[in-house]
Amino acid sequence: MMKIIAFGIREDEQVAVDAWVAKHPDVQVDTTNELLTPETAPMAAGYDVVNILQAGVPVGEATLKQLADLGIHILTLRNVGTDDLDFEMLKKYNFHVSNVPRYSPNAIAEHAMIQMARLFRHMKQMDIKVYRHDLAWAPTIGREVRKQTIGIVGTGNIGRVAIQIAQGFGAKVIAYDKYQNPELAAKGLYVDTLDELLAQADGISLHVPGIPENHYLINPDSIAKMKDHAVIVNAGRGNLVDTDAVIAALDSGKLDGFAMDTYEDEGGLFNVDWAGQDFPDPRVADLITRENVIVSPHTAFYTWTASEEMVEQSLDAGLAFFNGETPEQVVKF
């Protein structure tokens, strides 16, 4: 019997795992809420496939060598991002890897556009006022989304859905991507350079991968090129944004708002209940207190639909690898 061990399983994912196992009685899937680390890698002894969602915890040689020594060479991810993986070591130890590049793009796109609309309408400020029983209107007057220019950076699966949602508000939408989508290009949505998008957009939403060339895409220089009082939404990858640069721009009034779902130092911070404990990250603590900043702990994807698709596709890929097949979601490196 084929055996899979899934690390970092949440309660919502366990529901999807159980449903998948019911359809595949010839496969044993065991789960743990522990993430895959050098310390937990020995738990994989006796299994054929390791299934993970790392949430910012790197997978390097110390972990991969242990898995290879156990005879494991199949690693399947329950998410799209691969920036936690050491590809040189994956090559060295002859791993087959898959991810889930097409799980419910609507989940993240909806979240991003909802947050952008909330920034334009100053909803966090209003929520705080109402909570304090301050029901006065002023000075919390907002901007209508249909009167704004929305810039979508990255037009893959998620970016394209974000465009549809923004257009549904009636906004003017412009887009930038190094690799243009022909259908969007035919509609004239693209600008030629990122600088053009920054100069024109009232709201900027990031949907590009966290590869080295995109590191700190939002930085002091790029912020200086933006319109005054622009807002930024990052539901992409944490390393796309220089957090200190954004804080400085919020302090100066250059930026009107910031929605942060992913954070450059989120590993070990997000998806942890810090209530009643010393909060370990002063920058995030500062951002949380700001009325023009919305922080969510990497939960843009967090819907039942997305959770089910991430689990199902990753387990399907592990089964395909085990049977000598190449799954659609294979990661090439």
Q: Could you give the CA distance from residue 260 to residue 116 in angstroms, rounded to a whole number? A: 11
- Supply angle C-alpha 198, 201, 205, rounded to 5: 85
Give Cα 245 distance to the centre of its chain.
Answer: 20
User: Quick one: tokens of 32?
Assistant: 């743990």
b/e burial code for range 180-213 (CB count within 10 A of at least 16 → b): ebeebeeeebbbeebeebbebbbbbbbbbbbeee
- Determine which one of 110, 298, 308, 312 is catalytic: 298
Closest to 292 (Cα-Cα) out of 231, 234, 237, 245: 231
Please tell me which residue in 118, 207, 237, 312 is annotated as part of the active site. 237
Active site residue 196: no
Question: Is there a catalytic annotation at residue 298?
Answer: yes
Query: DSSP assignment, residue 282?
Result: H
Contact (Cβ atoms closer than 8 angstroms) between residue 164 and residue 112:
no
Cα 290 from Cα 240, distance rounded (Å): 21
Please say if 111 is a catalytic residue. Answer: no
Structural tokens at position 33: 């809420």
Closest to 153 measured CA to CA, from 184, 182, 174: 174
Considering the candidates 266, 308, 309, 312, report the single residue annotated as catalytic: 266
Known catalytic residues?
A: 237, 266, 298
